[in-house]
Amino acid sequence: MKRLFGETPDAWGFVLPSVVIILGLSIVPMIWSLILSMQSSDLVTPARWLGLTNYRVLSHDPAFRAAVIHTLVYTVLFVPLSIAGGLGLALMLNRRIRFIGLYRTMVFVPFVISAAAQGVLFSFIFDAHFGIANAILSWFGVGPQGFFADSNQALLLLVLIGLWSGLGFCVVVYLAGLQDIQQELLEAAAIDGARAWGTFRYVVWPALRPVTIFLAIWETLQALQLFDLVFVTTRGGPLESTTVIVFFVWNQAFQLFNAGYGAAAAYVLAFTLLIVSIGLRFARRNQTEEVGG
Amino acid sequence: MPLNEPETSLISRRSLLRGGLSLTAAAGAGPLLSACSGGSGSSDGVAADGTVTITMWHGQADQGKATLDKLVADFQRRNRKIKVNASSGGVLADSMLQKITTALSSGQYPDIAYIFGPDIASVARSPQVAHLGKFTKEPSLRWDDFYPAARDAVTVDGEARGFPALVDNLCVAYNKKVFKAAGVPEPTASWSWDDFVATARSLTNPSQGVFGTGWPADGGEDCVWRIYPMIWDAGGDIVNKDGTKVAFDGDSGLQALTTINQLGKDKSVYPDTKPGSETMYQIFSNNKMGMVATGPWQLPDFVDNKTEYGVVPLPTYNGNPVTIAGPDTWTVFDNGSARVEAAVKFLTFLTNGAQDVQWASQAGSLPLRNSTAESAGWRKHVSSTTGLDVFSQALGYARTRPTIPTYPKISQPLGQAIVKMLLDKATPQDALDEAVQTANAALATG
């Protein structure tokens, strides 16, 4: 008995609920979905074993390649812009001015709004014919744009909406980071004759590095998992110009009944996310070594 | 609820994850769950006193739910031996397919569910979907009294797998104010697609933001089903007899796409790229659009908005009237013969005479049965809503989409072709060729 349950058998009683939940809701589905990805299954009729065929077909599927490219374009634009924008806004908001609490709240509010509501809101604003965006552009002498009806603009528009709502999070995290910087360091820099840029470059920015790494990884994970905004605003259109990976998975599994194929695509994404997360751990570890050494 | 136009279902990432989770949990935990409940002996649903309990997932909210609750209560009063547990199933009809798919794979499914017409064939691949052939042969069911379009919609491989739940079809609603302002004569019952295109062109007025017509441009089913009457009229079909190839690859598809492309080129069509097609109807109601192909479900909205409208049948190429019916189904699942029998009994009641009138009136749909259409109750309802008579008559010649599981693989590429036409991004021939090639390739792999 002791050999089986260790020195403190009671402890198992305490961890059991979480073990069951993690096993039942995370591990088992993950394993099942891995098995599913190696089958031809529509979830309704008995499945057929395919081995790695789904993955092989996936690597030649132009629709999946397009979905990967759209996701990458979104990520490459969204992550740096949200970090740069978040840092800029945080620096502006990190000072004692009148109504600062109000400004900070306003920047954060969009983050709280659900993506579904944002999608509905923005699809009205950016309606090609009746939206307010084109009306504003026309004041400045810019001709009417297609926006969500233009396959060249739709994805960029999604980045823009993503930024509108995602910036708030970066700002809050950066603000916390900025307020963590010891006042003495800034004062010492000032005594040494550093100006604003010098202080930022040699004191603030290095101090914000851990926060920046965290944000870069976090925002990348968010961007790679983009779905809700696409679903509400464009359904992957126009002309499949905004099909992202998760949307591709949804379409395969629930519209075309290729659940096995969809699971394979989901696993490709999951694997990518895993690599990104491992990257985070390495970045963190290097950092603690640097600090410690 | 209008059931053909997919509502802007506000699916958030959370509900996708939930979908994915239930997808995974379904098969992961499913065997466990069914193992748990297997022992209790509840699955046959027959109590010791002979009462049969059946479960129905209707996917309805508000008015639809209220009407059904009332009809269920009526049924309970007359049938003490059958207990009907009717609920939405936790989802709206839009998401029922997802819900039922996971329910089937977990082995815990209802007896009746509201499944959209185009989806029944996919669901019916499951051995858990009941075969109703022996019931529909019974004269007391008066199966032939259902409109052909309604019957076809629930028939997969020659056998009924459910009951018709709702039927509607497409006609053209036109805005009288817009016609008057443009000085264009109102359309008449016998008009051609050329007339339609020309009328749309003369109604369009960019400086005032007025469009001749509108067409959903998200590539979804609401975008696609509008082209089928044109294809049928031009002598084509959706698939060939054995379901191996599309049958709009020739002139029929080309003719239909050319007509749509002309609307796109003239910029007389408002392409509604937002999922749900709601904007399109709002523009119509706000007197900024002259004509829109729509179903009877939209009429209550027009009445509420005090839109001055009229309804005419769809235009044709050859003068033979044709339209598409978008029926939905009460799909029946097999939880043992006692429960199937009870479900059939309940659905027979639900789709009969007075109940049919009540349900169709509140849903803004049409009667399922010929006899209902001729009943006094329905006639009274028709006379109270402008244009409803046109839809009611069109039901006689309405056709339906094929009930084959590969249908979504045809619909998606065709949807892309239509969007290309609306946005004028390709020639009709190129768009057709690509759609045909993609769809045929998908059909070949099954």
Question: pLDDT tens across B383-438, in order?
Answer: 888 889 899 889 888 998 888 888 888 999 999 999 999 999 999 999 999 999 99
| Distance (Å) from the alpha carbon of A6 to chain B's nearest alpha carbon | 29
Per-residue pLDDT of A265-281, as tens digits, reads 999 999 988 988 888 78
What is the structure's pLDDT at B19? 42
What pLDDT does residue A183 have? 86
Do B23 and A30 count as a contact with CB atoms less than 8 A apart?
Answer: no
DSSP conformation class of B39 = T
Cα distances from B160 to residues B3, B132, B286, B330, B346, in angstroms, run: 21, 5, 43, 11, 16
The whole-number pLDDT of residue B110 equals 93
Sign of the dihedral defined by the CA atoms of residues B97, B100, B104, B106, in that order: positive
- Between residues B263 and B88, which one has the greater pLDDT? B263
Mean pLDDT of A147-166: 89
CA angle A40, A42, A45 (to 5 degrees): 95
Q: Is A145 on the interface with B (CB under 8 A)?
A: no
Q: What number is the average pLDDT over the span B54-66? A: 87
CB contact under 8 A, A28 and B29: yes
Using an 8 Å CB-CB cutoff, list chain A residues near B420. Answer: 239
> Closest to B419 (Cβ–Cβ): which among A225, A237, A259?
A237
Q: Give a three-class secondary structure readout of chain A.
A: CHHHHCCCCHHHHHHHHHHHHHHHHHHHHHHHHHHHCCEECCCCCCCEECCCHHHHHHHHCHHHHHHHHHHHHHHHHHHHHHHHHHHHHHHHHCCCCCCHHHHHHHHHHHHHCCHHHHHHHHHHHCCCCCCHHHHHHHHCCCCCCCHHHCCCCHHHHHHHHHHHHHHHHHHHHHHHHHHHCCHHHHHHHHHCCCCHHHHHHHHHHHHCHHHHHHHHHHHHHHHHCCCHHHHHHCCCCCCCCCCCHHHHHHHHHHHCCCHHHHHHHHHHHHHHHHHHHHHHHHHHHHHHHHHHC
Write the CB contacts of B329 (distance below 8 Å, at least 6 apart in sequence): B114, B115, B116, B117, B120, B153, B154, B161, B162, B163, B164, B165
Beta carbons of B274 and A148 less than 8 Å apart? yes
Contacts A–B by Cβ distance under 8 A? 133
The rounded percent of chain A whose pLDDT value lies above 70 is 97
Query: CA-CA distance, B362 to B359, in Å (whole number)?
Result: 5
Q: Where are the alpha helices (DSSP H) in B111-192?
A: 120-123, 133-136, 148-154, 176-182
For all residues of chain B together, what is the average pLDDT? 85
A64 pLDDT tier (thresholds 50, 70, 90):
very high
Beta-carbon contacts of residue B36 (< 8 Å; ≥ 6 apart): none
Determine the average pLDDT of the residues in A129-133: 85
**Set of chain B residues whose Cβ sits within 8 Å of the Cβ of A234:** 218, 273, 275
Name the residue with tokens 């920047």. A107
The answer, yes or no, to whether residue B33 has pLDDT greater than 70, is no
Number of helical H runs and strand E runs in chain B? 20, 14
Give me Rg for the CA atoms of chain B.
22
Encode pLDDT of B277-330 as tens digits.
888 999 999 999 999 999 988 888 898 889 999 999 999 998 889 999 988 999
| 3 state DSSP class of B34 | helix
Determine how many CB atoms are found less than 10 A away from the CB of residue A130: 15
Chain B residues touching A255 at Cβ < 8 A: 408, 412
pTM for this one? 0.81
- Among A114, A238, A249, select the one facing B419 at the smallest CB separation: A238
Residue A257 near chain B (CB below 8 Å): yes
Query: Closest chain A residue to B96 measured between Cα atoms?
Result: A254
Residue type, B242: D
CB proximity under 8 Å: A 38-77 to B: 42-45
Q: Identify from A53, A251, A254 which residue to disrupt to test chain B contact, counting B C-beta atoms within 10 A and taking the largest count.
A: A254
pLDDT-based confidence at B257, cuts 50/70/90? very high
Mutation to test the B interface, candidates A239, A258, A261, most B Cβ within 10 Å: A239
pLDDT at A240 over 90: no
Closest CA to B152 of B366, B329, B5: B329
DSSP secondary structure code for residue B48 in this structure: T
Burial profile B137-169: b = 16 or more Cβ within 10 angstroms, e = fewer: eeeebebeebbbbbbbbbbbeeebbbbbbbbbb
Tell me which residue in A120, A228, A259 faces B8 most closely, judged by beta carbons.
Answer: A120
Q: Verify whether the Cβ–Cβ distance A129 to B104 is below 8 Å.
A: no
Nearest CA in chain B to A229: B12
Band of the pLDDT at A1, cuts 50, 70, 90?
Answer: low
Interface of A with B in 264-293 (CB under 8 A): 266
Q: Name which of B108, B274, B280, B437 to mutate to probe chain A: the one with the most chain A Cβ atoms within 10 A of its Cβ.
A: B274
State whether B412 and A259 contact (CB < 8 Å): no
CB contact under 8 A, A25 and B21: yes
SS3 category, B355: helix
C-beta atoms surrounding B198 within 10 Å: 17
Per-residue model confidence (pLDDT) at position A226: 92
Q: Is the pLDDT of residue B182 over 50?
A: yes
pLDDT at A288: 65
d(CA A98, CA B341): 73
8 Å CB contact of A235 and B218: yes
Residue with tokens 């819900």: B99
Closest partner residue to B273 (CB to CB) among A36, A130, A234 is: A234
Q: Who wins on pLDDT, B27 or B216? A: B216
Given this model, what pLDDT does residue A145 score? 85
B141 to chain A, closest Cα gap in Å: 29
Q: Do B12 and A250 touch (CB under 8 A)?
A: no
What local confidence, expressed as pLDDT, does residue A244 receive? 93
Task: Name the amino acid, one letter, at B144.
Answer: D
> Could you tell me which of B347, B8, B333, B364 has the C-alpha nearest to residue B167?
B364
pLDDT digits (tens, 9 = 90+) for B92-126: 888 888 889 888 888 889 999 999 888 898 888 88
Could you tell me if A80 lies within 8 Å of chain B, comparing CB atoms? no
Rg, C-alpha atoms of chain A: 24
CA–CA separation, B131 and B340 (whole Å): 9
B95: closest chain A residue by CA = A254
Phi, psi of B68 (to 5 degrees): -65, -40
Minimum mean pLDDT among B111-120, B157-166, B272-281: which range? B272-281
Per-residue pLDDT of B193-230, as tens digits, reads 999 999 999 999 988 889 999 999 988 888 999 999 99
pLDDT value of position B40: 34
- State yes or no: ipTM above 0.90: no
> How far is the C-alpha of B215 from the C-alpha of B263, rounded, in Å?
10
Tell me the CB-side half-sphere exposure of residue A20, using CA atoms within 13 A: 7
B138-145 contacts, C-beta under 8 A, 24 or more apart:
B141/B344, B141/B348, B142/B369, B142/B371, B145/B369, B145/B370, B145/B371
- A213 touching chain B per CB within 8 A: no
Distance from CA of B9 to the nearest CA of A (A): 8
Give me the pLDDT at residue A2, please.
65
A chain contacts of residue B24, beta-carbon cutoff 8 Å: 28-30, 32-33, 36
Cross-chain residue pair A232–B423, CB shorter than 8 Å: no
Residues of chain B found within 8 Å of residue A28, distances taken between Cβ atoms: 24-25, 28-29
pLDDT average, residue stretch A176-195: 88
End-to-end CA distance of chain A: 45
Per-residue pLDDT tens digits for A103-121: 888 888 888 888 888 888 8
List of chain A residues whose C-beta atoms are within 8 Å of the C-beta of residue B426: none
Cis amide linkage into residue B413, ω under 30° from 0: no
